[in-house]
Structure 1
């Protein structure tokens, strides 16, 4: 196994050569074998151990064991204790999810603070098969059916080419010590049920199950590669990336019978999971939206708009001084005095400078905002104006108001306010231009 491990690093994980590595070590047989392999190859590594305090004294004994083992090898060790149950109750998540989040957040902190290059975990081929079966029973795309990836960002899993039996044989031959996790014997967790009850039957039916699984993963990876090529090609013609948002042209997308597959591939990286809601959005009324943890997907007439969630948007405020001629943030605008009114376009307004109170401000709209639309005698709520103009949520969230003493002078690029309009009697005409 040592020779195969060394060859695997040299051939497939060559980027690890000479790097500073952080090994995730629980004290179980898998991670202890990983430590032993890395030590025999004289790799530059340190050990990180998480004590989740879920098994009482047994957890503390695991910590002491790993600490002692690292000391004997004279390798650096980092230990962190977590009140995992308290975190799970607070966040209303399962123990397993919380433990995983805590573990990897801490690992990445260590990586940043101590200049490690990669995090190595001891997942092996049987773990990958279990993940495949879990995702299969839950329903999954190709990604979930490829088991555990060998690399995610800075996380590398160099033992995925080895079976649990390979690891056990190596541990026995090399007299590797490890700690037995009592929770692995219970069928409380889904993964353990598969490990103890389902996979043994599958191996009985097919003694070469793991080899068959490896072949299946290889075929799926090739299929995924073909799908990626198709997805990327269509992306170029259907999707337009703007500065702050992404536009998906529904007319072009719906020309393809497998449009749902394309949407899945494009949107999955943004954390969307309610795919029924996402697909229903295509036939929904304008203004409907679906949320992920980080993004909003909005139906806006004949397109889908994807943009990050924005916070405290109404608190953005920018000042414009009296003698200022150019504005670069948050919009590109310029101000100049002219002798007459010309070039009546949506991106230009002419106002009576004497009616303005400086400094002017640029801000987002707020509930209760009113203005007097140019050409009208009465006032109108901005919310009503937006509705009449069929503004989407995206349009409203990204509208900018040019204000004088908090009175709206211009919904920038859309509609000016009648109260500030330059007339034949205006002695000092100010031309304001918005560079769209």
Structure 2
């Protein structure tokens, strides 16, 4: 059984014999075997036990593990948690609640103890059962790939690896080892409870499949290994795309470059979403197909509202050139766009008007048009405009949009359209539209910065002087 285990511990798990390992020990056969193996091989271990308070004998299990640790003269850490309360509060199954609280406990312990790794006792049978559970749930490749001997980063830490030294060892081999070592594990009666999906897979589905092929377990184990290799190849590509696509990461939100992610193939889009969700919801596994496809549809046709529900308390938000995956209560960055207070600001060129957050509107003095010929004809900056001062009414006014505002953009032969529609067509972020600054002459909107100049104050063959309007952010502001 253990002929190759020394190699696995040293090379696949990458254990340092001089640093502590936090070993999750429930007292069952697998974890007791793992603790004993590491102890025999003289690794520095800490036995960590989480009392889930799900069984009447739970406290006795904790004392049993405490006794084993005492006999080995190794450190022992225990913590109690109300798993049922956690499951109810977070709307997850008892199984999922037990898993989440267990890993959180183990990694907290590892951080406090400056441990090199967290070791758990998943074995080859667990690998097969997990594969089938994920298959039945409708998982993609990321769920069907096998567990790894060493995972870093993982759902719980970017710096502490999660290791599974017994991953290639079958349960029957572990039982034989314990018998040989005269070790008596605790018996968890919940392992017989078929209300839990893993137990149904273990006690009903797998025996049924073995009626078709006695080698089912080994075949599924190899399949999981093969898919792991395929996933690693895909993940390398997806990671490169993700790094190029993610433009902003803030507390509770990940911003993705809309055009970049929309240009990717749909399978890549799905992988990118899963990575964004993993960044916001570490450890979340139950991401259903409907949620993933909702994201794909959102990319193709963002709703007029600009946002929609995703899953697990997350939403999708389409804003300007970004798609956000965010908590519903997350404060998204403003994007640094210009904003004007509710009170309108009157001004007469030449002047400079400060809008706040470093944004400034500069209006030049009227200047002979000959001095600007080479500039306004070739202007590519939507935040710069030239207007004919004889076609405006002073003072000009900077204000927010109002209900019923219409705008006559240059090039539409004087025809107007709703300012709100124009802002949507130019993909101004929804949150920015309300306070976006516009320049008015009387009741006429003469310029909307970021959008083409207006028809009302346009330059023509009779224009003798021009006024330059420029909205910009002062140097040093961000």
TM interval, shorter chain, is 0.7 to 0.9
CA distance in 2, matches of 1:122, 1:432: 62
Instruction: Please name the residue that 2:26 is paired with.
Output: 26
Look up the SS of the partner of 2:78 in the other structure: strand
Name 1:246's counterpart in structure 2. 257
**Alpha carbons of structure 1 residues 283 and 252: separation in structure 2 relative to 1, 3 Å:** closer
Query: Per the alignment, in what secondary structure is the counterpart of residue 165 of structure 2?
Result: coil
Cα–Cα, structure 1 residues 31 and 85, in superposed 2: closer, same or farther, change >3 Å? Answer: same
Equivalenced residues, count: 394
Q: Find the residue that maps to 1:133 and give its secondary structure.
A: helix
Task: Quote the Cα distance in structure 2 between the aligned partners of 1:251 and 1:111.
Answer: 40
Q: Which residue is 2:144 aligned to? A: 145
For structure 2, the residue ranges without an aligned partner over 5 or more in a row are 155-160, 249-254, 278-286, 341-351, 387-394, 410-417, 438-446, 454-467
**1:197 aligned to which of 190, 201, 204:** 204
1:389 aligns to what SS in structure 2? Answer: helix
| RMSD, aligned CA | 4.7
Q: Matches of 2:325 and 2:61 in 1, distance apart?
A: 45
* CA-CA distance at 1:63 after TM superposition: 1.0
Aligned to 2:297: 280
SS for the counterpart of 1:143 is: helix
Q: Residues 217 and 385 of structure 1: is their aligned pair in 2 closer, same or farther, counting only changes over 3 Å?
A: same
Aligned residue number for residue 434 of structure 1: 473
Query: Would the alpha carbon gap of residues 387 and 115 (structure 1) be closer, same or farther in structure 2, given more than 3 Å must change?
Result: farther
Residues 22 and 45, structure 2, Cα contact 8 Å, conserved in 1: yes
SS in 2 for 1:123: coil
Shift of 1:398: 5.4
- Tell me whether 76-85 or 281-290 shows the greater mean CA deviation: 281-290
| Separation of aligned partners in 2, 1:81 and 1:62 | 12
- In structure 2, the CA distance between the partners of 1:208 and 1:348, relative to structure 1 (3 Å rule), is same
Structure 1 segment 92-107 matched on structure 2, within 5 A: 92-107=91-106
1:347 pairs with 366, 378, 383, which one? 383
Q: How has the CA–CA distance of structure 1 residues 281 and 336 changed in structure 2, closer, same or farther, with 3 Å as cutoff?
A: closer
Whole-angstrom CA distance in 2 between matches of 1:400 and 1:115: 50
Q: 1:391 to 1:38 in 2, by over 3 A?
A: farther
Call closer, same or farther: CA 1:292–1:168 in 2, change over 3 Å. Answer: same
Residues 339 and 435, structure 2, Cα contact 8 Å, conserved in 1 = no
Equivalent of 1:170 in 164, 177, 185? 177
2:424 is the alignment partner of 1:390: yes
Q: Is the 8 A contact 2:47 2:69 kept in 1?
A: yes
Larger radius of gyration: 2
By how many angstroms is 1:316 displaced? 11
Match of 1:82 in 2: 81
1:54 aligns with 2:57: no
Secondary structure of the 1:200 match is: helix
1:234-258 CA-partner distances (Å, limit 9, x unpaired): x49x9744345322457744xxxxx
Aligned to 1:72: 71
Corresponding residue SS for 2:9: helix
Provide the C-alpha distance between the structure 2 equivalents of 1:32 and 1:113, rounded to a whole number of angstroms.
Answer: 23
Q: Show the counterpart of 2:443.
A: none
CA contact (8 A) 1:22 1:119 kept: yes
2-structure distance, mates of 1:307, 1:168: 46
Q: Distance in 1 between matches of 2:257 and 2:335?
A: 22
Following superposition, the deviation at residue 209 of structure 1 comes to 3.4
What pairs with 1:222-371 in structure 2 (closer than 5 Å)? 222-228=229-235, 231=238, 235=241, 240-243=245-248, 244-249=255-260, 252-253=263-264, 259-271=265-277, 273=288, 274-284=291-301, 286-287=303-304, 289-290=307-308, 291-293=310-312, 296-298=315-317, 305-309=323-327, 311-312=330-331, 333=359, 346-348=382-384
Q: Any idea what the Cα deviations from partners look like across 1:20-74, whole Å, max 9, x if unmatched?
A: 2111111111111111011111112212111111112x00101111112212222
Gaps of 5+ in 1: 254-258, 357-364, 377-383, 404-409, 417-428
For residues 383-422 of structure 1, what are the structure 2 equivalents within 5 Å?
385-390=419-424, 395-397=429-431, 401=435, 413=450
Alignment deviations for residues 166-185 of structure 1 (CA, whole Å, 9 cap, x no partner): 11111111112211101112
How far 1:280 sits from its partner (Å)? 3.0
Contact 1:239-1:247 within 8 A present in 2 as well: no
Taking a change above 3 Å as real, the CA distance of residues 374 and 139 of structure 1, as seen in their structure-2 partners, is: closer
Secondary structure of the structure 2 residue equivalent to 1:242: strand
1:129 corresponds to: 128
TM-score by length of 2: 0.67
- TM (norm. structure 1) is 0.72
**Which residue in 2 is equivalent to 1:209?**
216
Choose 104-113 or 275-284, whichever is displaced more. 275-284
* 8 A contact 1:29–1:168 mirrored in 2: yes
Moved more, 102-111 or 130-139: 102-111
Distance in 1 between the 2:233 and 2:423 partners?
43
Change (3 A) 1:337 1:52: same
